[in-house]
Structures are given as C-alpha cells and as structure tokens.
C-alpha cells in the first residue's frame, strides 16, 4: 500500500469519526434541551419574639481546708438569701433549680513552697430559672444587686431567650421558601425563553435563628439566644423541569 493510499484511508476514518461525534453531540444537546431542568435556592424569613427564657446566677466562697465545714454553712445561708430574693420577685418555686455545691481546690502556682501554704477551696453554687414570663425574668436578671447587698458574692449571667414553636414555624416557612424558589426559577426560565413546568425535588437547608436584622448565617445553622426579637430563616434547594 502506497503512502498516498494510506493518507486517503486515514482521512476517511477521521472524517467519519467527526461525523459520528457531531451526530452524538447533537442528540445529547437536543435531549438536554427537551428535558431541561433548573435548580434554584429559595428562602423565607419571619420575625418572632422569644416565648421562653433561661437565667442562671452563681454565688461562691473561698475557704481554707480547716474551715470547709463553716464554708458549707455559709453557702447554705447564701442559698437562703438567694431563694428569699427570688420569692420576693414572685418567682414560682417550680421554676427554680438550685444545683449542688461544687468544690474546687485553688492552686497557687507562684508559690515556691506549696507544702507550707494551707490549702484553699472555692465553693460554687448556682441557681437556674426557666420561665415563659420573659419580661419578668429579664427584669430579675438586672436587679440582683439586692442579693449582693446581703453579703452574698453573687454573679448574674445574661438571660438566654428561645422560641419554643420553632418546629411548627419551620414547616410553614418551607412552603414559603419553595414558592420563593419557584418565583426565582420563573425569572431565570423566562429570560431564556422557557417556562417552569413541574417541581421534581426539594431539599431543605439548615434553620437559622438570628437576631433581628442580622445576616450572619452559618453553613451549619445558628441559634441566637441573646436576643428577645429574632428572625427565623429557612432555605430550600428546588429542581424544576422546563418546557
């Protein structure tokens, strides 16, 4: 076989391959266009007000090892002062949880001769209140100076605000998020000369519970407990067929 003959055969093979490739590409392209799909993300957001609050207070005493018994007696008096204060603020006893005393040894790492120093311990105890009366507990957390005035070494922590109807709200917001996704899909499809046909799948994202007006979302979801006024946001990824 001559060199020219080989070149002709090679050219024919390449030409036929190109024709076949073009036909396959055309079929795939037509199939894609005729069975087109569009995936978009929709979201929905609603403002809520916390309907439950949790507040924690803590008191402590530092005592030497030989005065542990007296230290526990003082802690009991402190607890009574705390309970009296809460009762004066019309707190229901069922809402009050007092934790046991926690004892922790104090180490003085700067002491070059620790064996000559008498051991000291930090006695800690805390009270926790969970209530649906958000405003009352919020005011309570700001007025604990009355406990300190009685000689108790007391610390008040920031209240934690939650919304207990989150599960029900999430369901309704998912419906709104799908509507938002459909509206977005329609805008995109119309720009390309298409129309949205049917919803083929939908997957919900994580729930975001944010301070009012916040946009600080997280891929793993977030739940703000620092604010009474919140915004609940959900997202959904939806796929639609086009026509």
Q: What mean pLDDT do residues 182-196 have?
A: 91
Q: Is a pLDDT exceeding 70 seen at residue 17? A: no
213 vs 5 pLDDT, higher one:
213
Q: How far is residue 165's CA from residue 178's CA, in Å, rounded to a whole number?
A: 21
- Mean pLDDT is lowest, of 31-35, 135-139, 187-191, for 31-35
Q: Is a pLDDT exceeding 90 seen at residue 9? A: no
Q: Which CATH number fits domain 32-49+165-242: 3.30.110.170, 2.40.50.140, 3.50.50.60, 3.40.50.970?
A: 3.30.110.170
- The CATH number that domain 52-160 falls under is 3.30.70
So what's the pLDDT on residue 113? 60
Q: What mean pLDDT do residues 15-24 have?
A: 48
Name the residue among 142, 168, 167 with its Cα closest to residue 156.
142
Measured in whole angstroms, how far is the alpha carbon of residue 167 from the centre of its chain? 14
DSSP per residue, 189-223: HHHTT--EEEEEEEEE---EEEETT-----TT-EE
So what's the pLDDT on residue 184? 94
Which sequence spans correspond to the domains of the chain? 32-49+165-242, 52-160
Q: Is a pLDDT exceeding 90 seen at residue 96? A: yes
Using CA atoms, how far residue 183 sits from 42, 193, 196, 224, 240, in Å, is 9, 15, 9, 29, 11
Q: Dihedrals φ, ψ of 19, to 5°?
A: -65, -45
Write down the pTM of the prediction.
0.76
Q: For 59-72, what is each residue's pLDDT tens digit?
A: 999 999 999 999 99
So what's the pLDDT on residue 110? 62
Q: How far is residue 51's CA from residue 36's CA, in Å, rounded to a whole number?
A: 46
Q: For 28-83, what is each residue's pLDDT tens digit?
A: 333 334 457 899 999 999 999 999 999 999 999 999 999 999 999 999 999 999 99
Q: What is the mean pLDDT of the chain?
A: 86
Share of residues in the chain with pLDDT > 70 (%): 82
3-state secondary structure of 83: helix
């Amino acid at each position: 076989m001559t060199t020219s003959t080989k070149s002709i055969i090679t050219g024919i093979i390449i030409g036929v391959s190109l024709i076949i490739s073009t036909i396959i590409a055309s079929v795939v392209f037509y199939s894609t266009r005729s069975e087109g799909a569009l995936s978009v993300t929709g979201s929905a957001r609603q403002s809520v007000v916390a309907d439950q609050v949790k507040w924690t207070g803590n008191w402590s005493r530092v005592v030497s090892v030989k005065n542990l018994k007296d230290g526990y007696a003082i802690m009991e008096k402190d607890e009574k002062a705390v309970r009296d204060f809460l009762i004066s603020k019309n707190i229901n006893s069922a809402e009050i949880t007092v934790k046991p005393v926690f004892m922790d040894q104090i180490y003085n790492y700067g002491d070059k001769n620790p064996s000559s120093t008498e051991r000291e311990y930090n006695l800690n105890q805390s009270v926790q209140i969970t209530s649906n009366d958000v405003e009352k507990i919020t005011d309570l957390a700001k007025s604990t100076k009355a406990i300190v005035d009685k000689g108790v070494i007391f610390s008040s922590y920031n209240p934690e605000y939650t919304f207990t109807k989150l599960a029900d709200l999430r369901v309704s917001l998912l419906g709104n998020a799908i509507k938002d996704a459909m509206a977005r899909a329609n805008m995109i499809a119309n720009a390309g000369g298409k129309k949205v046909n049917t919803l083929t799948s939908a997957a919900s994202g994580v729930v975001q519970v944010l301070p009012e007006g916040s946009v600080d979302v997280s891929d793993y979801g977030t739940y703000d407990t620092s604010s009474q006024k919140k915004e609940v946001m959900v997202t959904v990824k939806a796929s639609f067929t086009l026509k």
